[in-house]
Structure 1
Amino acid sequence: MRVEDVESPRAMDRLGLLLARHGGITNERIRHALGVTGLTPRHAVTLMHLAESGPMGQQVLIEALGVDPSVLVSILNDLERDGLAERRRDPADRRRHIVEMTTAGARTLTRVEQALEAVERELFADLDDDEIAQLHRLLSRIKTAPDDPGCTED
């Protein structure tokens, strides 16, 4: 068999490569849009989770975000430095830290949401509401880790 006889799919016919390409472009656009806030996507996701769930234990936040503890410590150090979140000892268990978004964090989150909405409007301009909902459902089902039944964020 000769190399010329082997039929190979075009690179963008490979769904994984197509998804990686669009993911890279989307990531770059989001990073650029978040530049007005000085946050990275990980900072933004952390604030969004705190806004949705309210104050929570640091270990619970690690599990919810699916990040390594050292990564979350770095994220929280940045957010605390900028006055966007705070950690305090749990009065019921002094070994635990409770993480909470500050008022400044909530104001910044409003700017984050606006930046993300602008990127998403541009990215999905050619899709109708039903197609966007379908895309969301499909992407939520993609298995991204060996023990993960699907990805819901990050």
Structure 2
Amino acid sequence: MAAHPTDRLGFLLSLRGELAGARIRSALGVAGLPPRHAMTLTHLAPGPTSQRELAIVMRLDPSQLVAILNELEASGLAERRRDPADRRRHIVEITPAGSAALARVDDAVTQAERELFGDLTQAETALLRDLLNRVVVDPADHSCDAD
């Protein structure tokens, strides 16, 4: 007899992930940003970084990142400039408009998370975060990020 889909942890995580993803995408729509654009701004918020490092941290192909950055620049949310110390390198940073958009994203995502995780205690939320950070998605990558 086959197990019910919610008895299989992978199926349950996939189902809940799809539902959570849809809710977060809806929240991001409030700020008018696709998820990858919002994540890029989140990574840029702490301060300027090289385009290469940003691609590595975000685990994106550099050409994908270029497309995202082109759109963020066109919207005035991020800017790139040549590194004066190494002209081959691009430095990327969030603009004041990008910071304002990120604040809207944070507000919308906070509300979505309240709805998604409202029945969990703080301890349960912390445990869930820890457990999910330990899930190995790429077998070659055992360095689970705690972002």
TM over 0.5: yes
- How many angstroms apart in 2 are the aligned matches of 1:58 and 1:35? 25
SS across alignment from 2:22: helix
Matching of residue 72 in structure 1 with residue 80 in structure 2: no
Gapped runs of 5+ residues in structure 2?
none
- How many angstroms apart in 2 are the aligned matches of 1:150 and 1:25? 26
1:1-154 aligned at under 5 Å gives the runs 7-52=1-46, 54-152=47-145
Evaluate the alpha carbon distance shift between residue 83 and residue 153 of structure 1 in structure 2; reply closer, same or farther with a 3 A threshold. Answer: farther
- How many angstroms apart in 1 are the aligned matches of 2:146 and 2:38? 12
4+ runs deviating over 2 angstroms: 150-154
Identical aligned residues as a percent: 55
Number of aligned residue pairs = 147
- How many angstroms apart in 2 are the aligned matches of 1:39 and 1:153? 24
SS across alignment from 2:81: strand
TM-score of the pair, normalised by structure 2: 0.95
- How many angstroms apart in 2 are the aligned matches of 1:151 and 1:25? 23
Whichever residue aligns with residue 67 of structure 2, its letter is S
| Post-superposition CA distance 1:74-96 (Å, at most 9, x none) | 11111111100001111111111
- How many angstroms apart in 2 are the aligned matches of 1:74 and 1:17? 33
- Root mean square deviation, CA, Å: 1.4
TM-score of the pair, normalised by structure 1: 0.91
Evaluate the alpha carbon distance shift between residue 70 and residue 149 of structure 1 in structure 2; reply closer, same or farther with a 3 A threshold. Answer: same
- How many angstroms apart in 2 are the aligned matches of 1:46 and 1:152? 16
Shift of 1:149: 1.3
Q: Is the 8 A contact 1:11 1:17 kept in 2?
A: yes
Evaluate the alpha carbon distance shift between residue 59 and residue 152 of structure 1 in structure 2; reply closer, same or farther with a 3 A threshold. Answer: same
- How many angstroms apart in 2 are the aligned matches of 1:86 and 1:96? 14
- How many angstroms apart in 2 are the aligned matches of 1:152 and 1:112? 21
- How many angstroms apart in 1 are the aligned matches of 2:66 and 2:19? 28
Say which one has the larger Rg. Answer: 1
Q: Is the 8 A contact 1:50 1:100 kept in 2?
A: yes
